[in-house]
Amino acid sequence: MASYVIIGAGVAGTTAADTLRKLDPDAEITLIGHEVHPLYSRVLLSHYVEGKIERDRLFLKKPEWYLENNIVYMSGIDVLEVDTKNSFVRTSEEREIPYDKLLITSGSEVRLALDNMRGISYFRTLEDAEQMIGCINSVLTQPIHERRAIVAGGGFVALEYINILAHFKIPTTVILRSTGFWSRSFGVEAQKILQRHVEKQGVQLLTNQSTFEFLGTEDFAGVRLLDGTKIKAQMIGMAIGMVPEVDFLKSSGIKINKGILANEYLETNIENVYTAGDVAEFYDAIVERQFVMGNWTNAQMQARAAATSMADGRTKFELVTSYSANLLGKDIVFVGDVSREHADDIIQKRVDEENSTEIFVRDGRMVGAVLVGEVKERTKLTNAIRERQTYRLEVKG
C-alpha cells in the first residue's frame, strides 16, 4: 500500500489529496497544514471582508470530508524538516512521518514589514481577513474627514485592498515603489490607464517611492515619505509581495531557486518528491520557461498533474496559465508568460484611453498577453499561445 504525504493543505494540497484518493482507493494519504481550517477559498476572502458573504460560505470542504475520504488531515501543524535520504518529514509536534512519495505544496508567505503596530494589515489567510475587518472598523470610528488608509504595493493584493477600501468609502493612498501597477508586466500605457482610472475614483497614487517610514508607536499613524512628506492614516495594507515558503527544506537536498525547482512533470531533483502550486518554480512546457506562478487555477491543475504523476505514471503539466482581476470596475487579464524581463519583444497591439492589449513575444512566437479594459480577446489569445502560434499568424487570425 502506497503512502503519500502532502505538505500544505491549501487548494493545491487538498486537490492533490482528492486526486490521489480517486486514483488509489487504498493508499495512506496524510495532509499536513499550517492552518487550522478545512479548505477555504482565499479568493472569496475579499467578499467576506466586504460583508457580501457569510464566513461559512468561504469553506470549500466540510470538516467531515477528510474523514469520509480517509485522508489524515493534520491541521495546525508545521513541517520542520524533510529528510529525503530516509524518506520522512519531521513535524512541529516532533513526529516523524514516513512517506513513499512526497508532495510539497507549502505555498507562499507575505513579506512582512519591519514594524509591528496595530493598524498594519496583511491579506493572505482567513485570520488576516478577520484582522483587516478589525482595522477597517477602527478607521470607521474616526470622523469622516480624518479617515485614510494606505496601501503599499501594486499587485493583486494591493488591488484587493483598493477595492475593499473603496467599498467602505475610506479615502486611500497607494504607495508604489515602481512607476505604476504591475510594472513587471504592464507597459507605460496600461499603467497610465489604470492610474487615471483609480485617480478618477479618488484614490491617490504615489509612484516611484523607493521607501517610506511608519509613523506611530503602538498604533499605526501614517507614513513619512523619503522627501519628508507625512501622510496621516489609521491603517496600512501591506501588499509588498509574496515569498515561497521553503525555509524548512534547507537541509533536504531539494533544489531551490525562487521556489522549489521542478520539471514539467512537477518532479523535483529528488526522486519521489514532487511539488505544485505557489511554491513551485516549474518548467512551463508551453512557453518553455521555468518560473513561479501563484494563482488558484494553476495551483489546482498542477496539483492534479502532480498527483497523477505520483499515483498513475508521469503526467505532463500543460496549461496556458491565465488569471484575471478587477480594479474598481476595470478588468485586467494576464495570459501565459507576462514577464517583461523575459520577453524578446512586447507589442502594444491595442491602446486607447480605456483599453490596452500587449503581446509578449519570445523566440518568434507569442508567449503571453496582458489586457486592460476590454478583455474579450482573452480566449483567442490563450488559444494562440497554446497552439504556439507565431505572432505574425496571430495578427492575421
Partner 1 sequence: MKITIKVDPDLCIGAASCVTIADDTFALNDENKADVLDHGQAPGGPSYERVVEVTEDEKENIILGAQSCPTLAVSIFNEAGEQIFPEV
Among 116, 208, 297, 348, binds partner 1 (CB under 8 A): 297
Q: Using CA atoms, how far apart are residues 142 and 148, in angstroms rounded to an integer?
A: 9
Grid cell digits, residue 97: 512521518
**Span near partner 1 by CB under 8 A; candidates 41-49, 85-93, 186-194, 264-272:** 41-49
Contacts of 2 (CB under 8 A, 6+ apart): 24, 26, 27, 28, 100, 101, 311
Backbone angles phi, psi at 379, to 5 degrees: -65, -45
Q: Using CA atoms, how far apart are residues 331 and 372, in angstroms rounded to an integer?
A: 6
Q: Closest distance between partner 1 and the C-beta of residue 390, in Å?
A: 24
Instruction: Please give the DSSP secondary-structure letter assigned to residue 357.
Output: E
Among 88, 168, 291, 296, binds partner 1 (CB under 8 A): 296
Among 36, 51, 55, 57, binds partner 1 (CB under 8 A): 57
Handedness of CA 108, 114, 115, 119 (dihedral sign): negative
Instruction: Looking at the chain, list the stretches that DSSP marks H as alpha helix, in order from N- to C-terminal side.
Output: 11-23, 45-49, 63-68, 126-140, 156-167, 188-200, 296-312, 378-386, 391-396
Rule CB under 8 A: is residue 9 a binding residue for partner 1? Answer: no
**Smaller CB distance to partner 1: residue 214 or 317?**
317
Q: Closest distance between partner 1 and the C-beta of residue 376, in Å?
A: 4
**Radius of gyration over every alpha carbon of the chain, rounded to an integer in angstroms:** 22
Rule CB under 8 A: is residue 43 a binding residue for partner 1? Answer: yes
**Smaller CB distance to partner 1: residue 14 or 183?**
14
Residues 188/207, Cβ–Cβ less than 8 Å: no
Grid cell digits, residue 49: 471582508
Among 88, 168, 291, 323, binds partner 1 (CB under 8 A): 323
Rule CB under 8 A: is residue 305 a binding residue for partner 1? Answer: no
Rule CB under 8 A: is residue 190 a binding residue for partner 1? Answer: no
Among 5, 7, 9, 11, binds partner 1 (CB under 8 A): 11
Identify the helix (H) or strand (E) that includes residue 153. none
Q: Using CA atoms, how far apart are residues 63 and 307, in angstroms rounded to an integer?
A: 22
**Span near partner 1 by CB under 8 A; candidates 150-158, 260-268, 292-300, 354-362:** 292-300
Q: Interaction with partner 1 in 349-378: which residues (CB under 8 A)? A: 374-376, 378
Rule CB under 8 A: is residue 142 a binding residue for partner 1? Answer: no
Rule CB under 8 A: is residue 31 a binding residue for partner 1? Answer: no
**Span near partner 1 by CB under 8 A; candidates 26-34, 235-243, 264-272, 320-328:** 320-328
Rule CB under 8 A: is residue 168 a binding residue for partner 1? Answer: no
Q: Using CA atoms, how far apart are residues 294 and 49, in angstroms rounded to an integer?
A: 22
Residues that bind partner 1 (CB under 8 A): 11, 41-44, 47, 57, 60, 62, 295-297, 300-301, 319, 322-326, 331, 333, 374-376, 378-379
